[in-house]
Amino acid sequence: MIVLELNQVEVDNCPTCGGVWLDPDEMDLLLEGSAGRDEIRANLKFGEPSDEKSRKCPLCRHTMAKSRVRRKASDAGIQIDRCERGHGTWLDGGELDAIVALSEFPQAHRIHEFLRAVFRGTIRETRA
């Protein structure tokens, strides 16, 4: 895992699968300043049925619950995995970018721009 940090948001990224681990409360920090934050929080559904393979929490090793992040109750949403013991959230490759897009950040939002650059591969190493 590679740890990326900006403004109190620490994102643990797996370069192999593109998955992301967020510690507790980091989803709220990530969504801070977005137009859809309150709607997303109100429409977050836990214990969603799924055909997707279950994951184990990397901290407690218990099976995580499937959840849906959505802007409106009628939306299909983005399926994520959350530790029922509160250790954090796992996002498969592409899910973080989808949540950021769903959130409708102002164009100048620093965390949004940073995450878009990282997960869309637009950050380049600088050479000395």
Domains held by the chain: number: 1
| Residue range(s) defining the domain that contains residue 79 | 30-83+99-121
Has residue 43 been placed in a domain? yes
Has residue 21 been placed in a domain? no
Has residue 65 been placed in a domain? yes
pTM: 0.75
Residue 83: predicted pLDDT: 92
Has residue 6 been placed in a domain? no
Distance of CA 93 to the CA centre of its chain: 10
Could you read off the pLDDT tens digit of each residue along the chain, which spans 128 residues?
Answer: 888 776 667 778 888 888 889 888 888 777 777 777 888 887 777 777 788 888 999 899 999 999 888 878 778 888 989 998 999 999 898 888 788 777 776 655 666 666 666 666 544 444 44
Has residue 15 been placed in a domain? no
- Whole-number average pLDDT of the chain: 78
| H or E stretch covering 6 | strand 2-6
Residue 44: predicted pLDDT: 77
Helix, strand, coil share (%) of the chain residues, nearest 5: 25, 25, 50
Has residue 12 been placed in a domain? no
User: How many angstroms separate the CA atoms of 41 and 4, rounded?
Assistant: 24
Give the phi and the psi of residue 93 in degrees, each rounded to 5. -50, 130
Note the pLDDT tens digit of each residue in 69-103: 887 877 888 898 999 899 999 989 888 878 877 77
Has residue 47 been placed in a domain? yes
Has residue 17 been placed in a domain? no
Neighbours of 113 (CB within 10 A): 15
